[in-house]
Amino acid sequence: MSQHALENAGVPFWRNPQIRAWIYQCIMLGGLLWVAFSMYQNTLANLEKRGIGSGFGFLQNEAGFNIGETPPIPVLQGGFLWFIAALIVGLFASRAIAVWLKKKGTTITASDKTVFAVIAFVGIIPVLVLFLGSDSISFTRYSESSSYVTALLTGFANTIKITILGCILSTILGLFVALGRLSPNWLISKLCSWYVELNRNLPVLLQLFFWYFVVLQQLPSVRQSIDVGGWLILNKRGLFLPAPVAQSGAWLFCLSIGAALIGVYFICRRSIRLLNERGTPGKILLPSLAVLIGLPALAWLIAGTPFTLDYPVLKGFNYRGGIDLTPEFTALLIGLTVYVSAFNAEIIRSGIQSVSNGQREAARALALKERHVMRLVILPQAMRVIVPPMTSEYLAIAKNSSLAVAIGYPDFVSVGGTILNQSGQAVEIVGIWMGVYLSLSLLISLGMNWYNAKIKLVER
């Protein structure tokens, strides 16, 4: 008999620490289940008392209200399953390549051939399947005769659009502000410091009001619009630009842009490889521009005219056609970008300063230019410090986008609030809000945690 068993022999079960711990956990779990069941029963009783039915069947009812911004909503068809199948096969093939290379003592990124194979399996082949499958995806737009489901999807698409653009723009702006704060130029450094302190200490809702009511609502009316040759029209109704309309050769042009981006990636890899081999990086700017311009231009010549332009035209009391950036969308995007970029700037600045000065001095000793020192030496090491707190800022953009209801932008919360007022299904709508924002936050955290794991320092 083991020593542990001998010690516990003859001890009553209520004095056994392990058994007592399990008993406490079961009691706590039972209490939580009882509270949840009581809340469920109480909610059903209150709904029945007020004559409100429960369930999600109301989502199929006709909405009957207008939404200011209606992006196209993808509707998956049967052919989309081929895209999913190609993507799954590509992921398994990439995993098999990674395992095989690990047994040989190398990685996927060690060779251009293996990198291209993974890109082909995960990206190129599934995209080709998606393009060639004529019944893979169709698009629909919300109208007043659409269902509540389509209305919620439209609001969710508007939220996703703001979240993605806000994360990208706030990161870029935060990087420039952080570099400005570290600049030896006194004026630039002070201006960036004031930018950070001002925006960090002003509530985001106040900033949204400022951009919407003080800035954008002071633009001229529709009849007195600022018109730049029909290419740019600006008034208090929004910014109007020509919209590209896809023609028969658009798919070839889009594929050429994807191929050009892959080419630029391999040009950057070659530059880094040359830096490791001979101490000086290869050229990036001119070859990248040649690929980015040359391949799409060649596809344009082969495909004819892949796109035509739909110009905005004044009809009645507003412009129709083209791309319309409404004041609500613009104010929300600018407000969230400016607010979060101030926090991102401090995160990036602290990450850059966390890298020891010896790294910078060693890079300068190799005769690297200052931009190469920052791009190739400092920022890659600083990312290990930057990424974890940056995750919180991206989550803040996703959640703060719900403030759009204050300026009339039809985001997910705003559309859901209208449905709640019409249907009276408060419990279901609030549950949908909670589930969607929880899922969105978990997806952002999952992606950032995956990226953080990829760049973390691996000890030998």
Q: Tell me, what's the pLDDT at 413?
A: 92
Q: Is residue 435 packed enough to be buried (19+ CB in 10 Å), middle (13-18) or exposed (0-12)?
A: exposed
Q: Tell me, what's the pLDDT at 1?
A: 46
Cβ neighbours, 10 Å, residue 8: 15
Q: Please report, as a single letter, which amino acid is at residue 431.
A: G
Q: Is the pLDDT of residue 111 over 60?
A: yes
CA distance 390 to 419: 34
Q: Is the pLDDT of residue 2 over 70?
A: no
Q: Tell me, what's the pLDDT at 161?
A: 93
CA distance 397 to 448: 14
Q: How do residues 384-395 score in pLDDT, each as one tens digit?
A: 889 999 999 999
Pick the more confident residue, 73 or 192.
Answer: 192
Average pLDDT, the chain: 84
Give the pair of three-digit tokens for residue 285. 């700017």
Pick the more confident residue, 280 or 165.
Answer: 165
* Residues whose CB is less than 8 angstroms from the CB of residue 23 and which lie 6 or more positions away in sequence, other chains included: 14
Q: Is the pLDDT of residue 4 over 60?
A: no
Buried-exposed string 155-178: b where 16+ CB fall within 10 A, e elsewhere: bbbbbbbbbebbbebbbebbbebb
Q: Calculate what percentage of the chain has a pLDDT beyond 70.
A: 94
In which band, very low, low, confident or very high, does the pLDDT at 381 lie, cut at 50, 70 and 90?
confident
Q: Is the pLDDT of residue 6 over 50?
A: no
**Nearest to residue 372, comparing CAs of 286, 274, 280?**
280
In which band, very low, low, confident or very high, does the pLDDT at 39 lie, cut at 50, 70 and 90?
confident
Pick the more confident residue, 55 or 327.
Answer: 327
Highest mean pLDDT among 68-77, 100-109, 168-177, 269-278: 168-177
Q: Tell me, what's the pLDDT at 135?
A: 66
Whole-number Cα distances in Å, 163 to 340, 394, 416, 448: 12, 8, 18, 15
- Residue spans of alpha helices (H) in 182-243: 186-200, 204-209
Q: Tell me, what's the pLDDT at 131?
A: 73
Domain boundaries, the chain: 3-49, 57-70+152-242+311-455, 73-140
HEC-encoded secondary structure of 128-195: HHHHHCCCCEEEECCCCCCEHHHHHHHHHHHHHHHHHHHHHHHHHHHHHHHHHHCCCCHHHHHHHHHH
Contact indicator for 267, 288 with CB cutoff of 8 Å: yes
Cβ neighbours, 10 Å, residue 331: 26
Pick the more confident residue, 1 or 22.
Answer: 22
Contact indicator for 90, 126 with CB cutoff of 8 Å: yes
In which band, very low, low, confident or very high, does the pLDDT at 359 lie, cut at 50, 70 and 90?
confident
CA distance 395 to 410: 20
Q: Tell me, what's the pLDDT at 344?
A: 94
CA distance 141 to 261: 31
Q: Strands 232-235 and 238-241: what pairing?
A: antiparallel
Helices vs. strands in the chain: H and E counts, helices first: 16, 10
Q: Is the pLDDT of residue 377 over 80?
A: yes
**Nearest to residue 407, comparing CAs of 63, 69, 65?**
69
Average pLDDT over residues 191-205: 93
Q: Tell me, what's the pLDDT at 339?
A: 95
Give the pair of three-digit tokens for residue 259. 């191929």
At the top level of CATH, the class of 57-70+152-242+311-455 is: mainly alpha
Q: Helix (H, G, I), strand (E, B), or coil: what is residue 53?
A: coil
Contact indicator for 299, 256 with CB cutoff of 8 Å: yes
CA distance 91 to 14: 51
* Residues whose CB is less than 8 angstroms from the CB of residue 287 and which lie 6 or more positions away in sequence, other chains included: 267
